[in-house]
């Protein structure tokens, strides 16, 4: 991992010192909103992934047990 040059670090510190309390509050509020949105998106992606996994698992179980979704497909119960 690369370290930041000292002048970049000092520049950031100086810019933080110059901020007013209102700017800090605004920044904190924006950060909270961004985190909330990110958490919601992560949760939504996780749910979608879980649904895909569940669907794949049901499909796998259906195929392994010989059950098919197409009515014209033959099953193991059909006899001639």
User: Taking the complete model, does pTM exceed 0.85, yes or no?
Assistant: no
Instruction: Determine the average pLDDT of the residues in 45-68.
Output: 83
Which residues, other chains included, contact 19 with Cβ-Cβ below 8 Å and sequence gap of 6+? 27
34, pLDDT greater than 90: yes
- Mean pLDDT, the chain, integer: 80
What string of DSSP letters covers 22-78? HHHHHHHHHHHHHHHHHHHHHHHHHHHHHHHHHHHHHHHHHHHHT--S-TTS--TT-
64, pLDDT greater than 70: yes
């Amino acid at each position: 991992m690369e370290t930041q040059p000292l002048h970049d670090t000092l520049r950031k510190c100086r810019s933080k010192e110059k901020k007013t309390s209102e700017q800090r509050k605004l920044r904190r509020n924006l950060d909270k909103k961004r985190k909330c949105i990110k958490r919601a998106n992560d949760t939504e992606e996780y749910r979608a992934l879980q649904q895909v996994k569940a669907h794949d698992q049901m499909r796998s179980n259906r195929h392994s047990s010989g059950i098919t979704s197409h009515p014209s497909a033959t099953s193991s119960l059909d006899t001639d």
